[in-house]
């Protein structure tokens, strides 16, 4: 298969790990999940096939023999790879909208994400905007959707510090802390990477989003089909990617032992992907206090006067 925008390894990964080319009305075949692909990729690299692109040249029987997998799995691979023609059409349609894809086989794929998350990093990422923002020093900001005046004041002050200290922001796209931090950074002409958990196509239809992308100040990223709606699975994963891509992440507010913010912070503390700073003042919820008990570093009022690296 040939497509000038992608190498054949990338095309194989997109075909095997996305539903872009699948017609859900007639196809029952399912793409490989992140966990399934990580397992299959390891088998491919250790076999005589070596690279995903070489699967294009093999029959079902050859794939079974070389990878030592069951017939139903080799048939699944063949069926997914047979969608190459439809994939080319879909990729061109996304390109018209300004949406691109980077896979684990591409140089544009964030190296730090692969190194930190290893098999937990997504096989492919959709993006719209200036991917060079990923080269900046990123500070992650996470927190609850429900915010009070103290949360808002702290988040705005934090966003101002990010821009002033020449960092860029990485966050999700939920209401509350995500929204407040993003708006404030962009207001100050800072740079934002937003890992979204809903439809990228719907998001880039918004005038203000398009304007920030055109200015080069906003990069949207997602591991889900750009046409898809909100996925609980993607929403839970995006915090993992925020931690994986950031130099450090600040938790503004978290419920105790429940919700995306707690789960993401606890997982990061367990895996030590990046330092976790936790807001600490008299107005924080119980979740913040408990995160500090399990290893989160306190971010206090005086921390605003220091560089982030001095707070770690």
Cβ-based neighbour number of residue 280 at 10 Å:
18
Q: Does one domain contain both 24 and 158?
A: no
Residue that terminates a domain, selected from 53, 73, 96: 96
Cα separation, 159 vs 165, in Å, equals 10
What does the chain come to in residues?
A: 312
Q: What is the pLDDT of residues 214-251, one digit of tens each?
A: 999 999 999 999 988 666 556 678 899 999 999 999 99
Same-domain pairing of 165 and 259: yes
- Same domain for 240 and 285, yes or no, is yes
> Do 156 and 84 belong together in one domain?
no
DSSP designation for 204: T
Please give the residue range of the domain that contains residue 283: 127-311
Question: 127 and 102 in contact (C-beta within 8 Å)?
Answer: yes
- pLDDT of 1 reads 46
pLDDT at 311: 86
96, 116, 142 - which closes a domain:
96
- Widest distance between CA atoms in the chain: 65
Give the pLDDT confidence of 117-148 residue by residue, as tens digits: 999 999 999 999 999 999 999 999 999 999 99
Sheet hosting strand 100-103, strand order edge to edge: 100-103, 124-129, 218-222, 192-195, 168-171, 138-142, 248-251, 276-279, 297-299
């Amino acid at each position: 298969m040939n497509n000038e925008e992608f190498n054949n390894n990338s095309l194989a990964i997109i075909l095997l790990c996305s539903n872009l080319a699948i017609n859900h009305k007639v196809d029952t075949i399912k793409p490989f999940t992140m966990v399934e692909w990580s397992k299959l990729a390891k088998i491919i690299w250790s076999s005589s096939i070596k690279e995903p692109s070489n699967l294009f040249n093999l029959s079902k029987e050859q794939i079974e023999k070389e990878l030592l997998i069951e017939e139903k799995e080799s048939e699944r691979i063949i069926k997914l790879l047979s969608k190459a023609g439809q994939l080319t059409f879909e990729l061109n349609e996304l390109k018209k909208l300004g949406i691109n894809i980077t896979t684990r086989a591409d140089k544009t794929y964030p190296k730090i994400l692969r190194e930190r998350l290893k098999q937990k990093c997504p096989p492919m990422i959709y993006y719209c905007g200036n991917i060079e923002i990923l080269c900046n020093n990123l500070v992650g900001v996470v927190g609850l959707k429900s915010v009070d005046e103290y949360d808002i004041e702290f988040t705005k002050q934090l966003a101002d510090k990010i821009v002033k200290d020449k960092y860029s922001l990485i966050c999700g796209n939920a209401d509350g802390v995500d929204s407040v931090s993003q708006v404030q950074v962009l207001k100050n002409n800072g740079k934002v990477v937003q890992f979204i958990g809903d439809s990228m196509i719907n998001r880039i239809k918004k005038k203000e989003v398009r304007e920030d992308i055109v200015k080069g100040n906003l990069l949207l990223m997602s591991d889900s089909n750009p046409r898809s709606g909100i996925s609980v699975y993607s929403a839970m994963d995006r915090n993992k990617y925020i931690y994986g891509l950031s130099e450090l992440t600040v938790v503004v507010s978290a419920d105790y032992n429940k919700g995306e913010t707690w789960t993401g912070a606890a997982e990061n503390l367990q895996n030590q992907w990046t330092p976790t700073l936790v807001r600490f003042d008299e107005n924080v919820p119980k979740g913040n206090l408990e995160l500090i008990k399990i290893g989160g570093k306190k971010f206090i009022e005086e921390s605003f006067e220091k560089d982030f690296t001095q707070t770690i």
